[in-house]
Amino acid sequence: MWIRAGRSSSMTTWHETVIPARSRIRSFAGIRSETGMAGVAAMAISRRALLGAAMGATAAALAGCAAKLPATHPVAGASPVKSPTPTPAPPVVAARLIGDGSTRDTGPQPHQPRPQRLAPGEEPPQFVVLSWDGAGETAAQLFSRFRGLARELNGSMTFFLSGIYTLPERHRMLYKPPRHQVGASAIGYLSGQSVHATIEQVGIAWREGHEIGTHFNGHFCGPGGVSQWSPADWDSEIDQAIEMVSKWRTNTGYTDLPPLPFDYPKELIGGRTPCLEGQANLLTAHRVQQWRYDSSGTGTQTWPSTFQNGLWNLPLPQIPFPGHSFEVIAMDDNMMFNQSRTPNGDPGKRTTWQQQARDAFLAGFQRAYTTNRAPLIIGNHFERWNAGIYMDAVADAARQMAQHDAVRFVSFRQLIEWLDAQDTTVLDRLRTLPVGKKPAGGWAEFLGTA
């Protein structure tokens, strides 16, 4: 059951009863070609590696056909969408400007579900998290496009913002990346127009209920990159990301945009590292102890658990890859590498590649939906690789997922709110379900005594 704030000024409620129904490969982390390594291996790569930035990679080899699954976001309102019942609107909180006026505390975020515990024997919903790394590039078009998709799905997404996307290039010397020259960046800087659009879109997205996480700043991968950063380096990188977002007005001089409607140090509760590298030291950084989750790893399609420091571990999963004997990480760049090895592959094969990517996302969804109901996490980028086929594939797959009952498209924040609301005995029981396995005796029996 979820009680969700509606997409109008009032609150709306949905009550839903769930219906059963490490080898290095150049600059790419954790990828596999069909020939070569034995077993199943996933590949995780950075979009900037594909565009020429030097990156390191860590291959994740799996035995057998187990698929890797990251925890995903819960979506309120499966198809068909239930009719909402109005509830009293939340109290109005006076906005408080912060610092130079770049941000302001406007109170609790609108349009957030209020999770409740599963009833004894109740089947879990199927959570799907759509997350975007480096959100901000070509923001005016793509940010708004996927905000629109979220409205269509009646759900929320997580946008991992790269801090330097709020910093104009003329002020690049304000950025002091750990172990690199001042002003350096492996992903460059946006134009002034794109910085303006990014700031505008971030504010709108948050008001619509989406989460604003972090993809950090300079996106340094490979030798000398984030995999070698110390906890203190990560603290510096996070502090600078917060500083850029919190002082965009001073750094840009823009006066025609409203303040971002959140206090970013409080809003920021998780992120994803560049190239999925450097997670071990990130988790021990002082700043990260104040977070609630991290999504910088890879995993299997099972129910998530926590790290030793208490943060939720929400990794990207491996999912079936149609036409291949191995599985692929549920991320657009990994599929691209396994198909074309380049962001500008053979135009004659793009239709086939798009269908294959779409079907991979759907295969991962079906495997979870029809068996253990483990959350499905999908990672994407605002990039037009192979003429944008991967963004189209994600959108097409999500629309098909939404046709099933008990599917909830949620942000990472919303997913962990639901997880935190559950009885620990129930979560422990859910974690015993392997990839692609139904509960013995059905959900009523499996969770009836948990």
DSSP H helices, 65-218, are 139-153, 192-207
Residues β-bridged to residue 130: 378
Structure tokens at 120: 């004894």
Query: With the C-alpha atoms ordered 87, 402, 1, 320, is the resulting torsion angle positive or negative?
Result: negative
- The closest alpha carbon to 174, from 234, 230, 231, 247, belongs to 247
Residue 244 has pLDDT above 90, yes or no: yes
pLDDT score for 79: 38
Question: For residues 412 and 292, is the Cβ–Cβ distance under 8 A?
Answer: no
Mean pLDDT, residues 173-200 taken together: 95
Mean pLDDT of all residues in 156-175: 96
Whether the per-residue pLDDT at 218 is higher than 90: the answer is yes
330 CB-near residues (< 8 Å, 6+ apart): 68, 69, 70, 316, 317, 318, 319, 360, 361, 364, 376, 377, 378, 379
Nearest to 328 by CA among 81, 82, 65: 65
pLDDT score, position 419: 98
Q: Is residue 300 a contact partner of residue 367, using CB atoms and an 8 Å limit?
A: no
Query: What's the longest Cα–Cα distance across the chain?
Result: 63
Segment 110-123 mean pLDDT: 95
Kindly report the CATH number assigned to the domain that includes residue 442: 3.20.20.370
Which pLDDT band, with edges at 50, 70 and 90, does 245 fall under? Answer: very high
The whole-number pLDDT of residue 402 equals 98
Whole-number pLDDT of residue 277: 97
> By percentage, how much of the chain surpasses pLDDT 70?
78
**How does residue 306 score in pLDDT terms, banded at 50, 70 and 90?**
very high
Which CA distances in Å does 27 have to 38, 47, 48?
A: 20, 11, 10
Q: Which pLDDT band, with edges at 50, 70 and 90, does 135 fall under?
A: confident
pLDDT of residue 324: 95
pLDDT tens figures, 2-20: 544 333 333 333 333 222 2
At 434-445, the pLDDT tens digits run 999 999 999 999
98 has pLDDT over 90? yes
Mean pLDDT taken over the chain: 83
- For residue 94, what pLDDT is reported? 62
pLDDT at position 134: 86
pLDDT of residue 167 exceeding 50, the answer is: yes
pLDDT of residue 43: 42
- Tell me how far apart the alpha carbons of residues 217 and 236 are, in angstroms, rounded to a whole number: 11
DSSP, res 247: T
**pTM of the predicted structure, to 2 decimals:** 0.83
> Is pLDDT above 50 for 319?
yes
> Is the pLDDT reported for residue 75 higher than 50?
no
Q: Taking 90 as the threshold, does the pLDDT of residue 165 lie above it?
A: yes
Q: Would you put residue 405 in left (φ > 0), alpha (ψ -120 to 50) or beta?
A: beta
Helix/strand/coil for 97: strand
In a domain, 143, yes or no: yes
Q: Is residue 171 part of a domain?
A: yes
pLDDT of residue 209: 98
Reported as half-sphere exposure (CB side, CA atoms, 13 A), residue 46 has a value of 30
Percentage of the residues of the chain whose pLDDT score is greater than 90 = 75
Beta-sheet strands, E only, within 60-184: 60-62, 85-87, 96-98, 103-105, 113-115, 126-135, 158-161
Give the separation between CA 195 and CA 138, rounded to whole angstroms: 9
Q: With respect to residue 15, please indicate whether it lies within any of the assigned structural domains.
A: no
The mean pLDDT of 311-331, rounded to a whole number, is: 97
Hey, what are 146's tokens?
Answer: 């996927």
Instruction: Give the H or E element holding residue 353.
Output: helix 350-369
pLDDT of 81 over the 90 cut: no
Q: Which domain holds residue 48?
A: 2-6+22-84+95-448
Show the CA angle centred on residue 403, arms to residues 417 and 116, nearest 5°: 20
Count the alpha carbons within 13 Å of 393 in the hemisphere toward its beta carbon: 32
Least confident interval from 128-137, 257-266, 354-363? 128-137
pLDDT band at 96 (very low <50, low <70, confident <90, very high): confident
Q: What's the Rg (C-alpha) of the chain?
A: 21
Whether 107 is covered by a domain: the verdict is yes
Give the tens place of pLDDT for each residue, 387-418: 999 999 999 999 999 999 999 999 999 999 99
Cα distance between residue 380 and residue 219, in whole Å: 15
User: 350-378: per-residue pLDDT in tens?
Assistant: 999 999 999 999 999 999 999 999 999 99
Name the pairing type of β-strands 85-87 and 11-13. Answer: antiparallel
Question: Which residue, 29, 46, 65, is CA-closest to 325?
Answer: 65
Q: Which residue has the higher pLDDT, 176 or 31?
A: 176
Higher per-residue pLDDT: 264 or 23? 264
Q: Over 50: is that where the pLDDT of 58 sits? A: no
The pair of three-digit structure tokens given for residue 158, joined into one six-digit string: 């997580």
Flag whether 11 is in a domain: no
DSSP state of 133: E
- The confidence band for 95, taking pLDDT boundaries of 50, 70 and 90, is confident
User: Which of 34-43, 112-121, 148-157, 421-430 is least confident?
Assistant: 34-43
Angle at the Cα of 288 from the Cα atoms of 2 and 331, rounded to 5 degrees: 65
Alpha-carbon torsion 293, 299, 301, 303, what sign?
negative
Note the pLDDT tens digit of each residue in 279-294: 999 999 999 999 999 9
Burial of 205 (0-12, 13-18, 19+ CB in 10 A): buried
The confidence score (pLDDT) of residue 159 equals: 97
**Per-residue pLDDT at 138:** 57
pLDDT for the residue numbered 23: 27
* For residue 91, pLDDT beyond 60: no
Distances (CA, A) of 85 to 4, 92, 256, 406: 10, 21, 37, 18
H/E run at residue 318: strand 316-320
Q: Domain total for the chain?
A: 1
Q: What is the pLDDT of residue 137?
A: 56
What integer is the mean pLDDT of 326-350? 96
